[in-house]
Amino acid sequence: MSTLQHFGWFFARGFGPQGWGRPDVRWNHRWTGPRLYQQAVRDLEQAGLDLVVMEDAVSLGSPDTLDLRVREAYGGPKHDPLLLAPYLFDVTERIGLAPTVNAGITPPYLAARQAATLHHLSGHRFGINVVTDVGSARHVGLEPLPHDRAYDRAEEWLGVVRRLWHSWPDGALVADVDTGRFADGSGLDAFRHRGEFFDVAGPLNAVPFDHGDPVVVSPGGSPRGLAFAGRHSDVQLALAPLDAAGVRQYRRRILDAAAAHGRGEKDIRILFVLKPEIVPSAEEADRVVRASRHPTDDDLLRIAAAQSSDLETDLTRLPLDEPLPVSVFGEHVSQGTIRGLLGRDGAVGEQPLRELLARKARKGRIADRTGVVGTAEELADFVAELGDDAGNDGFLLSGDLHPSTVHRMLDDLVPVLRRRGLLRREYGDGGVRANLFDF
């Protein structure tokens, strides 16, 4: 019997123009309204997914790359996913939602109160995807922090948020109709936190929870990011080579970090982001992979446009057959994103741009573990292998929150996963925390 695993959806590209750049856009959904997302999230709940993690980026980036970010709608525009969440909760009953909250620009008292409100309104189905993005600082009059210092701030921020959530002790909420006594304020934690980054007074003007705190999700694969996850996260949004050895190694790093803070494997779920390309037959998978080995210049330019948005650097204007100039990336560009383009052992100025983009274009087969193209049965084999051989907790399937994307990925996959005992058939009780920790 295969190991039952957890599945979620990573709402990639955030609350922006869904389906843009694909034929899906001609379905004529209105991306600024709620119905598109409501239709998609209902289907995700029907599929038995545990939660939706909602990506966001507050900033459109540096002033000199604004057109680059919006011309193909890769980096923007984006609306606030926190404000989309109530519309999605309204049409679902079990699935959890974890919108992105920026710990660098959101005051901890405001974040704690908003999260508490949505956790109650949703029946304890709310979570926060905590990010430490520093590029948004200038929009709120703050100076950006270096990478590790941003995590120091996030540590303090989350500590204050959690203390606020617990500033009402057991017994403080009386709610006795006969006596008319609603609450006992004598035990409320009217603390004053004066830290390095925040000065916050409690208690929180919101009542405590019946089924645990909102879940905390965090991304980040740097040593500092993994340490943060080990200490704080209920869910680690994981990016790593998806083979049994790579998954075991990554999990070991997270679990060691958790153990350093008295936490164990039962306290955290490590979910690997996966964007599979499901096709109807092995022959079609082979055809797709072969075609990817010979990208046209137009194919490469489309990839360059997507990479340009992530890198905030216009690669589309550079000669394809020359190496990237050493000076092409500004100081604002993430080193991790640069490494993603160059490859593990690459360096700026060494490889022609055509070769770098062609490597991004190449696809591989799930069946031989060289990529993510395959049939639903082949993907189920892969899921079962990582669960049985690497102790994997599960996956966050990545894509737009668009009905076409959801059905393209899940129509054939869900029946196979359920038949093989890999995907839940029903939900338990207790909100998103129960979804994640009931097995």
The number of angstroms, rounded, from the C-alpha of 350 to the middle of its chain's C-alpha atoms is 32
Q: Pairing between strand 51-54 and 235-238?
A: unpaired
Q: Pairing between strand 51-54 and 269-274?
A: unpaired
CB 367 within 8 A of CB 385: no
Q: How far apart are CA 152 and CA 148, in angstroms?
A: 6
CB 409 within 8 A of CB 397: yes
CB 126 within 8 A of CB 94: no
Q: How far apart are CA 412 and CA 278, in angstroms?
A: 8
Query: Which has the closest alpha carbon to 126: 100, 105, 153, 156?
Result: 100
Condensed to tens digits (0 to 9), the pLDDT of residues 248-291 reads 999 999 999 999 999 999 999 999 999 999 999 999 999 999 99
Q: How far apart are CA 46 and CA 8, in angstroms?
A: 12
Element (H or E) spanning 174, and its range? strand 173-176
Query: Which has the closest alpha carbon to 394: 3, 2, 6, 1?
Result: 6
Instruction: Note down pLDDT in tens along the chain; length 439 residues.
Output: 678 999 999 999 899 999 998 999 999 999 999 999 999 999 999 999 999 999 999 999 888 788 888 988 988 999 999 999 999 999 999 999 999 999 999 999 999 999 999 999 999 999 999 999 888 888 998 888 988 999 999 999 999 999 999 999 999 999 999 999 999 999 999 999 999 999 999 999 999 998 899 999 999 888 999 999 999 999 999 988 888 999 999 999 999 999 999 999 999 999 999 999 999 999 999 999 999 999 999 999 999 988 888 888 889 889 999 998 878 887 667 777 888 888 766 676 688 999 999 999 999 999 999 999 999 999 999 999 999 999 999 999 999 999 999 999 999 999 999 999 999 999 989 999 999 999 9
Query: Which has the closest alpha carbon to 305: 20, 80, 105?
Result: 20
**Cβ contacts of residue 220 below 8 Å, gap of 6+?**
132, 151, 226, 228, 229, 237
CB 195 within 8 A of CB 161: no
Concatenate the DSSP letters of all residues of 200-241 into one string.
EE---SSPPPSS-PPEEEE---SHHHHHHHHHH-SEEEE---
Q: How far apart are CA 211 and CA 414, in angstroms?
A: 29
**Cβ contacts of residue 260 below 8 Å, gap of 6+?**
230, 231
Domains of the chain: 6-280+374-437 (3.20.20.30), 294-361 (no CATH)
Query: Which has the closest alpha carbon to 62: 347, 321, 309?
Result: 309
CB 225 within 8 A of CB 151: yes
Q: What is the DSSP letter of 313?
A: S
CB 271 within 8 A of CB 235: yes
Q: How far apart are CA 180 and CA 249, in angstroms?
A: 57
Q: What is the DSSP letter of 6?
A: E
Residue appearing with tokens 């379905």:
27
Q: What is the DSSP letter of 65?
A: G
In the chain, the amino acid numbered 113 is: R
271, β-bridge pairs:
237, 394
